[in-house]
Amino acid sequence: MTIFSRIVAGEIPSYKVAEDENYYAFLDINPVAKGHTLVIPKREVNYLFELEEDEYLGLWAFARKVAAALEQAVPCKRIGVAVLGMEVPHCHIHLVPLNTEGDLNFSKEKLTLPADEMQAIANAIAAKL
Ligand code: AMP
């Protein structure tokens, strides 16, 4: 079971942003920018391009709704999108509020925000859905 499946199952806590029957969105615990959100299929699939077509399209549709809410909750120029999967073998789309190109740099030092701030950001995004 991946760490993300354990989050979906409620075994590990997460700052949940959105959920439906098949997909789940939550804050990245080590954000590259405030509001950095991960969008995943609940079904455990290693890699984005291994998803079945309907699940693949559904994931992007879900991500678009989350991105629209994120853009309202965390003012920014654009929502950047990245797919890496270097760390967790459970397909996920990174949504990152961008003000400069450098905000999408995964090599720089990550942020560690206090729990109350993380919760406030998650709540603010969820409120815009
Ligand atoms: P990657 O697999 O390279 O796309 O990176 C995995 C991402 O998941 C990283 O940005 C981590 O900070 C994030 N991450 C790992 N564990 C957790 C967790 N328990 N809750 C939220 N985000 C996580």
Residue 71's pLDDT is what? 98
Active site residue 94: no
Residue 78's pLDDT is what? 97
Task: Please give the Cα distance from 54 to 15 (Å, whole number).
Answer: 27
Of ligand 1's listed atoms, the one at least distance from the Cα of 94 is: 4
Q: Which CATH class is domain 3-127?
A: alpha beta
Beta-carbon count within 10 A of 129 CB: 14
Residue 31's pLDDT is what? 98
Residue 93's pLDDT is what? 98
- Reference 15, options 100, 102, 121, 97; nearest CA is 121
Which distant-in-sequence residues (6+ apart) come within 8 Å of 126 by Cβ? 16, 17, 18, 69
Does 115 contact ligand 1 (Cβ within 6 A)? no
For 25, the enclosing helix (H) or strand (E) is strand 23-27
Is residue 70 within 8 Å of residue 125, measured between CB atoms? yes
Residue 105's pLDDT is what? 94
Residue 51's pLDDT is what? 97
Task: Please give the Cα distance from 88 to 82 (Å, whole number).
Answer: 14
- Running along the chain, 129 residues long, what does each successive block of 10 average in pLDDT? 97 98 98 98 97 98 98 97 97 98 94 97 98
Does 117 contact ligand 1 (Cβ within 6 A)? no
Residue 39's pLDDT is what? 98
**Cα of 26 to ligand 1 centre, how many Å?**
10
The active-site residue out of 36, 90, 92, 94 is: 92
